[in-house]
Structure 1
Amino acid sequence: MKKRDLLISFLLLMGFSACNDNDSSGDDKDKGRELSAEWYTGGKLGTTFINVNTSSAYEQATPIVEEDAAMNAAFMRGESLFENNYIEGTDPGAPRTGLGPAFVRNSCIACHPGYGHGKRMDRYRANDFGNGYLLVVYDKDTDAYVPELTGMPQTKAIAPFLPPVDENGIKIEWLSYTDKYGNTFPDGETYQLIYPEVTIDPAYINTDPKPKNYDVRLEATIGIYGTGLLDAIHDDSLRLEYTRQQARGYCQGRIGKDITEADGTTHPGRFTYALSRGTLQNGPGANAIWNITSVTRSDRTKNYITGAWAKAMSQNLDIQAKLAKSEEEIYSELMSQNLEPEMSDDDYIDFMIWHRGLAVPAARNLDDEEVQKGKKVFNSIGCTACHRPSWITGPDNYTGDPMVAGKLPRYPYQTIWPYSDLLQHRLEMKNNIRTGWCRTTPLWGRGLSEQCTGAGDHLHDMRARNYIEAIMWHGGEAEKSVEKFRALSKTERDAVVKFLESI
């Protein structure tokens, strides 16, 4: 079906009323209907109008990818790498081999159901589909990750090895929480709040030494659609936002040095809750396709493991007997920095074309009267102080990693609407995120989470089961806005939720 026909079908289905805006495209004007810039959440080059009312809304390619036959073919190949399992073995004739020796998941989609956020879970089992939880095991005194485990601790291993953390020793308990308002709005409407308490029995940690003085938190995977558009924002634009926020008294102490990445370039952080990644090419996906599965490639020729785990495995007499190797041989092989690549360069390039080529679903129902009312209220109570509505991308000329430079989709000078300042703030929640600082999650497309992932959970550990709970968990720098939200009528609160569901 032609794009023109798809867009007409979308407009008819959504019941658009005519709009007037000079930013509308000529193609839209030809149909007698004009869409303002906000409908194009990812800009004209990064927004999809295809299947926005289906479970595959997050899975579509950007227009710039669709219009390039070679790039679209690479996108489809990259998608298969995301969706299919990696398996044990090194047979060059078998697809997607090389899993392990220790790993977090055996596929990417296991953590990102429907390409969205992970679901809230009552237990930690890597093989439970939709469990996007990553364990965060950190020192209570320093907030640093414990050195005995990887930053994303693994709970699976290839026999005869034992997992660094045995899932049987992980306990997740969801506890009720009553806030200072008694979980009640001034008009009498009530809400419920819950939060996770996570523990790991040290007897189920297979490292030498075992970590001590540690605490555990959960972090859920983020939605991956539209990350290429965020990547296209110029570094200087991020720095200007840092300066603006700091002048307002926000983000104090969280504006530090640029991040030096694997390709040697430096950039301000924009990805992960911790703002630990500056570009997508060195960021979450590029890193995760290696460290989640521990599948090596030409620029990652080592296992994603720690010396403490390798030591425990190499000293295990059962493992020595089953492998018929000495302690020294096992340790040396596990810790080698020059392993054979298990993922080809071509596959990695296709994966990154897919990753950067994922579109953002178009906004829905923006001309609805209640949605418009909710937008005005959202703006008036100060939510946009952190959930910055729009950005303009830069020239988008990435010149870092030579393996992918010049081969990826580009989105120059697009107005995009992620509703995030891409900075960290303190929300002061019970059992807070590690360090207490969390990047503002982009809100675009989140209203489609239920239909795409089967769950509408929110926040870094998915503790909020709906928008109201998510808002009421906000404290710290957002507390003034929460106070204003509480003072709204129920009709106004519902309108804010309706607006959030539409963007």
Structure 2
Amino acid sequence: MRWLVFPFVIGFLGCGAEPPPGEAGPSAEPGEELSGGETTVFDTSKNAYSLSARNMTPERRSAFFVGNSFFKENWVIAPASTEGRDGLGPLFNARSCSSCHLLDGRGSPPLDTADPLVSVLIRLSVPGADAHGGPAPEPTYGGQLQPRAIPGVLPEGDAFVTYEEMPGAFPDGETYSLRKPVYSMASARGDMQPDVMTSPRVAPAMIGLGLLEAIPEEDLLRAEDPDDTDGDGISGRANRVWDAVRGATSFGRFGWKANQPTLVQQTAGAFLGDMGLTTPMFPAEDCTDVQADCKAAPTGGVPEVSPEILDRVTFYSATLAVPARRDVDDPVVLAGKRLFLEIGCGKCHTPLLRTGTLEGYPELSGQTIRPFTDLLLHDMGEALADGRPDFEADGREWRTPPLWGLGLQEAVNGHENLLHDGRARGFVEAVLWHGGEAESSREAFRALPAEDRGALVRFLESL
């Protein structure tokens, strides 16, 4: 049975309506603006995603800034005089974490479709599973396409996206258009396996990750309903993935398909896959058996990322704060919030959760947070399917992404592109791409009057 928390005071009014005499309209609950509890920051500038948890001590904040420096560090090719900062590649996507997570925010497809993808990577796999139950890598290219390489090593190639416009209209006659992405790859090392499966993944925003890790697993599992026993059409379930530290399967929290169990493993995996940097967790270079030039390339030692640097970057990622909600008392925002819940969006985008005790992170522990996610997998329909399994996630399932902070994405990153591949140009298109378990909510949104659709979008912009 699903377990959800709906702390909002639910109103009964449509957008712009006046309450009947003697009856109160909708209102914000106390503390609703505190998306990250006591960690919340009040900033609406381009740096809104780059600030530390507000309840950190000065000593802890110093460690945050050290982690920030490593997050922004451009790694160099080995051997180099900058000992401890070399070992980039041999194959890689970016030179630094911030190259894809600009200002700790969200990546985007390129404006010009003639340009290759940069902050959107392409996952690769073939049918079957690896030794730990994860996706089986493509034999020549591995688990993701890496378009850059150090001298003497052949890059793997570039990926591109073009779009097909799909026009549509709401029942009231207002028109819209959805852009359907079409991907292509210029692979440099020969043909991939004919049964290769691909999945584009945009770099997500970094905010609030430590708070998500601090939510007790048992609380999240209460929302599982894989067989839809309550008949509400929602059948969220956990992904069970390999935990390299524990040497066992564990609850997946991070990534577009919840394929990483912990933030430190997510960080170590990004170091290896995105920058070609080994860590104590993943000490072997990411070269396939047929990539002899990759295997023969010089390294920056084993590991290239020291335990201290891995810990600092993980600490930084864990303690990036979530910006506060804006305009929580605005009548239009309140009406939009009511509609968000009425049409069922809150069944997956859980409004409120509470963190437990996260060892080593007192500022993240015991916080009431408003992430708008259940961290579970949901069938999102064929239109959003990538057809690529990832541990227990099938080709139609995606983890519910948190919505907190999305209203400031344009201010931080200069675009409004949403969903796992950035195809949606704003909230309306994102909603209209929903299918599967979210189809009824999508159709309810389509049926709303234009004024109410605007109110719901206004609520999302306040997050």
For the criterion TM > 0.5, the same-fold answer is yes
Q: Deviations over 1:10-50 (max 9, x none)?
A: xxxxxxxxxxxxxxxxxxxxxxxx98222110111x2112x
- Distance in 2 separating the partners of 1:431 and 1:144: 22
Moved more, 151-160 or 259-268: 259-268
Q: Deviations over 1:61-80 (max 9, x none)?
A: 00233xx2222111111111
Which amino acid in the other structure matches residue 423 of structure 1? L
Q: Hey, what does 1:464 align to over in structure 2?
A: 424
| Contact residue 169 and residue 176 of structure 2 kept, 8 A | yes
Q: Give SS of 1:271's match.
A: coil
| Contact residue 200 and residue 216 of structure 1 kept, 8 A | no
Q: 1:257 to 1:84 in 2, by over 3 A?
A: closer
Q: Give SS of 1:59's match.
A: coil
1:29-108 matches, cutoff 5 A: 36-44=30-38, 46-49=39-42, 52-65=43-56, 68-91=57-80, 93-94=82-83, 96-108=85-97
Displacement of 1:471 after TM fit? 0.6
Q: TM-score, normalised by structure 2?
A: 0.84
Identity of aligned residues (%): 33
Displacement of 1:148 after TM fit? 2.7
| Contact residue 301 and residue 339 of structure 1 kept, 8 A | no
Matched, 1:360 2:354: no
Q: Hey, what does 2:147 align to over in structure 1?
A: 155
Displacement of 1:85 after TM fit? 1.3
- Distance in 1 separating the partners of 2:366 and 2:400: 23
Structure 2 gaps, min length 5? 1-27, 130-134, 389-394
Moved more, 115-124 or 351-360: 115-124
Q: Hey, what does 1:416 align to over in structure 2?
A: 369
| Contact residue 154 and residue 188 of structure 2 kept, 8 A | no
Which amino acid in the other structure matches residue 278 of structure 2? T
Displacement of 1:108 after TM fit? 1.1
Size of the alignment, in residue pairs? 422
Greater Rg by CA:
1
1:62-461 matches, cutoff 5 A: 62-65=53-56, 68-91=57-80, 93-94=82-83, 96-121=85-110, 122-123=112-113, 131-139=118-126, 145-163=137-155, 165-167=156-158, 170-178=159-167, 183-201=168-186, 204-206=187-189, 210-243=192-225, 246-248=228-230, 254-255=237-238, 257=240, 259-264=242-247, 266-283=249-266, 285-310=267-292, 313=293, 331=295, 333=296, 339-397=301-359, 406=360, 408=361, 410-430=363-383, 432-433=385-386, 434=388, 435-461=395-421
Structure 1 gaps, min length 5? 1-33, 315-330, 398-405
Structure 1 or 2: larger strand share? 2
The root-mean-square deviation of aligned C-alpha atoms, in Å, is 2.7
Displacement of 1:93 after TM fit? 3.6
- Distance in 2 separating the partners of 1:153 and 1:218: 10
| Contact residue 303 and residue 334 of structure 1 kept, 8 A | no
Q: Give SS of 1:219's match.
A: strand
- Distance in 1 separating the partners of 2:94 and 2:350: 33
Q: Give SS of 1:292's match.
A: helix
Moved more, 471-480 or 89-98: 89-98
Q: Deviations over 1:383-428 (max 9, x none)?
A: 111111111111223xxxxxxxx4x564222111110111111222
Q: Give SS of 1:48's match.
A: coil
Q: Give SS of 2:107's match.
A: coil
Q: Deviations over 1:277-306 (max 9, x none)?
A: 1111222x2321232111223333221222
Q: Give SS of 1:77's match.
A: helix
Displacement of 1:345 after TM fit? 2.4
| Contact residue 125 and residue 142 of structure 2 kept, 8 A | no
